Structure 1
Amino acid sequence: MAVERDDLLKEIAALEEEVGQLRRAVVSHAVIDQAIGVVITHGRLLPGQGWDVLRTVSQNTNTKVRLIAEQIVQWPYSGRLPEDIQQALEAALARPAATGRTRTPTTSADF
């Protein structure tokens, strides 16, 4: 009986951990989706191109996509974007391969 109870408690703990991970994933996904919206608006991109730009910025700054997304989502409100992220974003937006077309660079004053 004690073994069954221990197994049950372990299973409950594992399920609680999984639920916590799923909740964090949902929040992270929402922030990333919002950041994609900011990127496609700022860069005048197609929706499918926003993810590529975010991923490129993440790789070029060696920063997790979620953290990049959090900074980008706050950008229109704060008017500030960390310099390394700003530079990587502008570089990613300027590359025709990343965006599928050329674009005229904009400045942070657009936000």
Structure 2
Amino acid sequence: MTTSRARRPRPDAGAQDLVARLELEIAQLRQAVSSHATVDQAIGVLISAARIEPRVGFKVLRAVSQRTNIKVAAVAEAVIAWALGEDLPRQVAGELDRAVQQYAPAGHRLKRPC
């Protein structure tokens, strides 16, 4: 008994392009979810450290990002590291204090959480 091996049709270039685009989109979505979680954690640190509302915490992170030309996720990572005992980069520290003073209610200061 002989078996014939049927040739599989090769996917066309359009299908390969679609697969590549979808794989890229999946990678970007995974990164976005990860960045979002990091930003949320940093907002939590700011809520605790400066006693501010979550929406204000995001405004603070965004302001620091814009003033330092550092991505919001990278600023968020620095804030989380600071809460865990590391020093903030000097540029971020200055802008973070400034942003908290600008957006937080009067008298609210940034204090490292215990």
Q: Deviations over 1:51-73 (max 9, x none)?
A: 01111111121211111011111
* Pair 1:68-2:75 in alignment: yes
Q: Which residue in the other structure is 2:35 paired with? A: 28
* Pair 1:9-2:16 in alignment: yes
Q: Distance in 2 between matches of 1:86 and 1:48?
A: 20
1:1-111 paired onto structure 2 within 5 Å: 5-95=12-102, 98-99=103-104, 101-108=105-112, 110-111=113-114
Aligned positions, number: 106
Q: Which runs of 4+ in 1 moved over 3 A?
A: none
Contact 1:93 1:103 in 2 (8 A): no
Output the amino acid matched with 1:60.
R
Q: Deviations over 1:19-48 (max 9, x none)?
A: 000000100111011111111211110122
Cα RMSD over matched residues? 1.8
Contact 2:100 2:110 in 1 (8 A): no
Output the amino acid matched with 2:78.
Q
Q: Distance in 2 between matches of 1:13 and 1:106?
A: 45
Identity, in percent, stands at: 37
Q: Given the two structures, how large is their TM-score scaled by the length of structure 1?
A: 0.85
Q: Given the two structures, how large is their TM-score scaled by the length of structure 2?
A: 0.82
Q: Which of the pair is proportionally richer in helix? A: 1
- For residue 78 of structure 1, report the CA deviation from its aligned partner: 2.9
Q: Which runs of 5 or more structure 2 residues have no equivalent in the other structure?
A: 1-8
